[in-house]
Amino acid sequence: MILDFNVNGRDYSIEADARARLIDVLREDLGLTGTKEGCGEGECGACTVIIDGLAVNSCLVMAHQTRGKRILTVESLKQDGELDSLQKSFINNGAVQCGYCTPGMLMSCKALLMRNPNPTEHEIREAIEGNLCRCTGYVKIINAVKEVVKESKAPSEEDHHE
Amino acid sequence: MTNKLKYVGKSVPMHDVMDKVTGEIKYVGDMKLPNMLYAKLLLSDIAHGVIKSIDISKAQALKGVVKIYTYENTPSTSYNSHIWYDGLKAIEDEYLFSKQVRFYGDRIAAVAAEDKETAERAISLIKVEYEKLPHIISPLEAKENPEYRITSKEIKSGEPENIIQTAEIVVETALKTQKVHHAAMETHICLANKELDGTVTIWTPCQVAFQVQLVVCTALGLPKDKVRAIKAAMGGSFGGKGQPVLEPVCAYMAYDLGKPVKLYMDRTECIIATRTRTATIGNVSTAVDAEGNILARDIKMLVDAGAYMTNGEAVALAMGKKAFRLYKIQNQRYTAEVVYTNTPIGGACRGYGSPQIHALTEINIDAAARRLGMDPVKLRLKNLFQPYDKDSIGGPALGNARVIQCVEKGMEVFNWKEKRERPKAIGRYVRGVGMACATHGNGYYGAYQDYITMSLMMNEKGEIILNSGIHDLGCGTVTTMKQIVSEVFDIPLDKVTAVEGDTFKSPFDSAGTQASRVTFVCGACALKAAEQTRAKLVHYASRILGCAEEQVVLENGMIYASDQPDKKQAYGDMVTSIQKTLSEKVEVSCTYESPANPASYAVNFVEAEVDTMTGMVRILEVLAVHDIGKAINPGFVEGQIQGAIQMGIGFALSEEISVDSGGIVKETNLGKYHIVNAPDMPDVKVMLIEEGEEHGPYGAKSVGEVSTVAIAPAIINAISNAVDIDITALPATPERVLEAIKRKNIISEVRQ
Ligand code: FES
Ligand code: FES
């Protein structure tokens, strides 16, 4: 079956197995191996991608369900050689250890900030509740997101004062 | 350290973090070789039995199936995946494939196929007929059966039995600890290929490349020069990828087929059929006097190795020794019995027995304090080791043991007294505070061989390459080594490359990333290699510069004679001159044998809230205080501790691999196996006591394992403090907590 969709800003029209999961098409057919599989059952979040603005477990989605949709994977975050502010903050805050949860974690956080640029700590924790990490205890991940929020807020607050 | 440190003690980012945040890093799951086959295992669905027949005809007929492996067409050499060096003796009871099925999840067959779907389909088409045998899942039952009893161990100092018999106050505690899944986010996976010269190359996220090589050689009957193990990017291990599980099978298929084979596991397989934290049933009796001095202690552990021996004996011994390295107890006995059961296999798991024994003994210490009506902190402070006290069974020197300092500082910062004395809420939610202490080692000195060889070279560009068999498990080992080398040479980290384990290229390392030895032992070797190389550079430079060695200055990548500060040259230019003029290389290969194994300490303070209606426990606050000697990279250290606390909360409250009466694993996925997620994770404050340890590089000692040891008993003690109940089995699930609350209410009603 032909699958037309947009991944990371690029339109694709590919032949994909009717039973293929989105994660397999991304990893195997498009070679976007940044998206990880940790359970295949929607329980770990390692496979999180953004579909039309929402964070979704790509292991639970059939590729054909994404026809005509816009998908973002971790590979989309770095633009023109420049890291996304979340990526930078993950680095600066030591939010990455083994790195296996990182792509999914980043995409959940990205989706959060896309719909709510000013989340509370509680909202940050909720946004990654489906993303398991065994290395970091989440502490530095949450700090990293908080820092991005704080930094993006700083100029807008200045705007406000003007 | 009197000198000001420039690179050590700084929280620089991990060497490969850029590849990790961009998703570019290649784990084995992301690797592909031309003509690579995919392989899948068939695991037994019974707990105990013998295979009567295996029908592979349907699977074999499937298009794309290349070969099916069972015990019938593979080597039947026994091995023990725990053996990490030649000469280490342990019962060898594992095989590539079983005829005898010993647990639900035993390896029955493997299929190599052209693609994943075919491999998975073929597995489902294999028909196995078993003759079932009676199974034993309870270690208590196993203890009574000679076929399941493996060995017993005793460690003793003084005469504890007599004292306990006659003492006025003896406090007894019983605790069962469960099997735990390591839950690395990357499931087990391995890739192997047969090279043209007949060598089998194995890419694996492993902890000990030389162990992979050794175990594969044993299982396959190959010489070491035909097996090359390469440590691949690691998606989390925590001991779970310590013993080679998939490597021998994968290597055999690649060797047999002459093609690359990738063998992978899904989460369910990973939970049931890799390794688990060794389960225990513990009992402890502690005699104390009215002032809170510990007079004697008797600890009994029943250690459930699971279906195969692996490290059952080693872990039983390791945990026992820890009991002698926290409190000054002159009269103490530790006895362990190790048994098989028809349940998932035990293995190395962060802490290697320490979490199990400390859970028992630290809950017991609190029980003793309660009996005496004493603050548990006070009781501990009376009995904890002082710096340079002696291990009471003659074990390795404790070194600069700063556990008392950890307790005292932690108490203050946590506001222990006030929180502890605060009146308890009446109503549904009750808060309590608890604490616990823990100790762990720094390598193998005193138990097993512990040395590593490293080679270090400075090139004509002034860059340094450190070649050694290290393994970065995501903890920052590579960066830690680089920081040490950078410090010695005063050059930025990006000028230093530290490569990881490859048994054909790395100098030998005796033990890999185990036993909390990496920073303490490997780091000390990196320091020695760097210092020796520096001395060499200084020596040759003095000849080139025509000055005394003492006059040679190395500063920020530049080298010069102290009386000619205007004639600075880059290290690389000096190396070039040395090579050209003296025909010498600035290179050293050195072996470092660890001369010590001091104790690291952790003290955790916890505030918890118990919902007395549901039995649910919420952790509100954790303070982790660590006697670390010196943090080479404080950010990494904090990261280790915070992750370890996450693991320890799961051990205390929610994580368990259990089997039903038929021996079938109940928690087969992450929906049923509950690891702590972000909303349930408390804030973890970390405090480091950095008082330096003699033999550690820049004074450093271990943190990776000790950090997960104190948290579970601290939580259980906080629960007891809140609602005054005894928890006798981990994890303290809502059901167990509720049950204990009910039990207490019944008892108090009866008493009224
Ligand atoms: S792999 Fe999709 S949620 Fe775990
Ligand atoms: S960094 Fe390893 S699982 Fe999150």
Q: Check residue B752 and give its pLDDT.
A: 66
Q: How far is the CA of A91 from the centre of ligand 2 (A)?
A: 13
Q: Check residue B425 and give its pLDDT.
A: 85
Q: What is the mean pLDDT of each run of 10 residues along chain B (752 residues)?
A: 84 98 98 98 98 98 98 98 97 97 98 98 98 98 98 97 97 98 98 98 98 98 98 98 98 98 98 98 98 98 98 98 98 98 98 98 98 98 98 95 98 98 92 98 97 98 98 98 98 98 98 97 98 98 98 98 97 98 98 98 98 98 98 98 98 98 98 98 97 98 98 98 97 98 86 69
Angular region, B441: left φ>0, alpha ψ -120 to 50, beta rest: beta
Q: How far is the CA of B476 from the centre of ligand 1 (A)?
A: 26
Tell me which chain B residue has its CA closest to the CA of residue A45: B185
Q: Under CATH, what is the fold of the domain A2-153?
A: Ubiquitin-like (UB roll) (3.10.20)
ipTM for the predicted complex: 0.97
Give the distance from residue B669's alpha carbon to the nearest chain A alpha carbon, in angstroms.
8
The SS3 call for residue B677 is coil
Residue type, B162: N
Using alpha carbons, select from B89, B91, B65 the residue that is nearest to residue B78.
Answer: B91
Nearest atom (ligand 1) to Cα of B267: 4
Q: How far is the CA of B742 from the centre of ligand 2 (A)?
A: 39
Q: How far is the CA of B646 from the centre of ligand 2 (A)?
A: 12
Q: How far is the CA of B156 from the centre of ligand 1 (A)?
A: 49
Helix (H) or strand (E) holding A88: helix A85-92
CA dihedral sign of residues B81, B82, B83, B89: negative
CATH of domain B276-442+596-751: 3.30.365.10
CB contact under 8 A, A137 and B645: yes
Of A44, A122, A125, the CB nearest to B185: A44
CB contact under 8 A, B29 and A37: yes
Residue type, B663: G
Owner of token pair 């690797």: B31
Q: How far apart are CA B260 and CA B30, in angstroms?
A: 14
Q: What is the pLDDT of residues A33-90, one digit of tens each?
A: 999 999 999 999 999 999 999 999 999 999 999 999 999 999 999 999 999 999 999 9
Q: Which tokens sit at B417?
A: 């007294």
Q: What is the pLDDT of residues B682-737, one digit of tens each?
A: 999 999 999 999 999 999 999 999 999 999 999 999 999 999 999 999 999 999 99
pTM of the model: 0.97
Q: At what angle do helices A102-115 and A85-92 cross, to 10 degrees?
A: 130
Q: How far is the CA of B185 from the centre of ligand 2 (A)?
A: 7
Length, in residues, of chain B? 752
Q: How far apart are CA B594 and CA B589, in angstroms?
A: 16
Tell me which chain B residue has its CA closest to the CA of residue A136: B643
CB contact under 8 A, B235 and A34: no
CB of A42 shorter than 6 A to ligand 1: yes
Q: How far apart are CA B196 and CA B199, in angstroms?
A: 7
Of B236, B638, B684, the CB nearest to A100: B236
DSSP string, B331-394: EEEEEEEEEE-SSPPEE--TTTTHHHHHHHHHHHHHHHHHHHT--HHHHHHHHBPPTTPPPTTS
Chain A, 13 to 42: residues with Cβ < 8 Å from chain B are: 27, 32-41
Q: What is the 3-state secondary structure (H, E, C) of B269-295?
A: HHHHHCCEECEEEEEEEEEECCCCCEE
Instruction: Decide if B2-23+446-593 and B276-442+596-751 have a common fold.
Output: yes
List, in sequence order, every residue forming a beta bridge with B131; answer none if it has no partner: B50
Q: Check residue B392 and give its pLDDT.
A: 87
Q: How far apart are CA A34 and CA B201, in angstroms?
A: 25
The answer, yes or no, to whether residue A161 has pLDDT greater than 70, is no
CB of A146 within 8 Å of a chain B CB? The answer is no
Of B23, B236, B683, the CB nearest to A139: B683
Nearest atom (ligand 1) to Cα of A45: 3
Mean pLDDT of chain A: 95
List, in sequence order, every residue forming a beta bridge with B413; answer none if it has no partner: none
Supply the Cα-derived Rg of chain B in whole angstroms.
27
Q: What is the 3-state secondary structure (H, E, C) of B581-630?
A: HHCCCCEEEEEEECCCCCCEEEEEEEEEEEECCCCCEEEEEEEEEEECCC
Using a CB-CB cut-off of 8 Å, the residues of chain A touching B184 are 98, 100, 134
Q: Which ligand is nearest to the CA of A135?
A: 2
Tell me which chain A residue has its CA closest to the CA of residue B647: A134
Taking the mean position of all CA atoms in its chain, how far away is CA A61? 15
CB contact under 8 A, B681 and A137: yes
Of B26, B474, B679, the CB nearest to A97: B474
Chain A, 83 to 102: residues with Cβ < 8 Å from chain B are: 83, 87, 90-92, 94, 96-102
Q: Would you say domain B2-23+446-593 falls under CATH 3.60.21.10?
A: no
DSSP string, B25-70: --BGGG---TT-EEEEEEE-SSSSEEEEEEE-HHHHHSTTEEEEE-
Q: Under CATH, what is the fold of the domain B31-134+188-264?
A: Aldehyde Oxidoreductase; domain 3 (3.90.1170)
CB contact under 8 A, B677 and A130: yes
Using a CB-CB cut-off of 8 Å, the residues of chain B touching A83 are 21-22
Q: How far apart are CA B328 and CA B330, in angstroms?
A: 6
Q: How far apart are CA B97 and CA B102, in angstroms?
A: 11
CB contact under 8 A, B22 and A141: no
Of B30, B635, B636, the CB nearest to A33: B30
- Domains in chain B: boundaries: 2-23+446-593, 31-134+188-264, 276-442+596-751
CB contact under 8 A, B684 and A137: yes
Q: What is the pLDDT of residues B13-41, one digit of tens each?
A: 999 999 999 999 999 999 999 999 999 99
CB contact under 8 A, A140 and B642: yes
